[in-house]
Structure formats: structure tokens, C-alpha cells
Amino acid sequence: MKLSPYDPRRIEEIKALFTKTFSDSEGQSEGELIGNLVYELMTGTDSHDLYGFVATEKNKIVGSIFFSKITFESKINAFILSPAAIHTDFQKQGIGQKLIKFGLNTLKECGIELIFTYGDPNFYTKVGFKPVTEKQVKAPFKLTYPEGWLGLSLVSKKIESIAGNSYCVEALNNPQYW
């Protein structure tokens, strides 16, 4: 298994991975929605505001994650981990956790302070994320599943409250993802 930054020349393969993975678990319409989200992230987000990583097996992409900039009024250097996908045939092997840890280490080396995600707490707490309340850190949109708002500091043991609003990159700037 090789972990590496994503190659922009493989955009269609990455989009297909997300579409298939989310279609298998959530249905075809959700698969298409998330596949299109990933495509928009890769093609419409400034390269300074996006980090993407892949897991490959025999040169086939079997997993991928993306981190995109989240901006706060207080100018904290933070990113959102979303979305993440591991091919259905490769799930339950620890690939997702390894890929996330690889991405987190890379972002830490780049001086990123905080990472947030909006997903399954049972999964993301395994890689160090902790629940965050919306009073503590406001999400870009009203959350339909507040228990899924999680954070991780790459520079300290806890996340301090952050005053003011937050803003995500254009591809995530849609309430249907929240």
C-alpha cells in the first residue's frame, strides 16, 4: 500500500472512487453527489486551499481523502477533512486510518493548526478527533447532525473556542453537505 499526495492527472479515477464508494453505502444519488463534490474540489479550489491524498495498491487508487481550507474571522490556520472514501473491497483493513494519519502529518508539517471534520464520531475518534460543540467552534452551516462536528489540534492537546463565523471553500459552500 502506497500513500501519497493525489495526482491531478487522475481526477476522473478519484471521482469514480468516491462515486462508487458512496453509491455502494448510501445509494446512487448520494454517490453522484459526493463524486461531483470531489470533482469540484479538485478543479475549482485554489491549490493553497486544498490537500488531497490517495492510497494505491498496484497503481490502483483504493482510497482518497481531501482537506480544504476553513476560514475563521480570527485567522487561525485550519482545514476540514471531507470527504474520505475507501473502495468497498478494501474497507475494514485500516487503510482509512493510515491515510488520515498520513494526511494529518503532512498538514502538521505545513504549519496547519486545526483540522475539523463532519462525520461518524465512531470512526474519526480512532484517529484523534474529538467532539466540538457549535458554541465552541461554529461550523460554516447549521449542522443536521451536530454530534458529527469534530476537531483535532495539531499544535496542542485541546481546541480552544473560536469566536465568530467560519467559511469553507466554494465546493463545500452548500447546506446539503452539512
Enumerate the domain spans of the chain.
2-177
Instruction: Evaluate if residue 85 carries a pLDDT over 90.
Output: yes
Cβ–Cβ under 8 Å, residues 62 and 21: no
Which CATH number is associated with domain 2-177? Answer: 3.40.630.30
| pTM: predicted TM-score of the whole model, two decimal places | 0.95
Residues 6+ apart with CB under 8 A from 77: 111, 112, 113, 114
Q: Give pLDDT tens digits for 94-109.
A: 999 999 999 999 999 9
For the stretch 61-64, contacts whose Cβ atoms lie closer than 8 Å and that sit 24 or more positions apart, written own/partner, are 61/10, 61/13, 61/14, 61/17, 61/87, 62/1, 62/17, 62/86, 62/87, 62/89, 62/90, 62/95, 63/17, 63/87, 63/90, 63/95, 63/96, 63/99, 64/6, 64/14, 64/17, 64/18, 64/38, 64/99
Instruction: Evaluate if residue 74 carries a pLDDT over 90.
Output: no
Q: Give pLDDT tens digits for 24-47.
A: 999 999 999 999 999 999 999 999
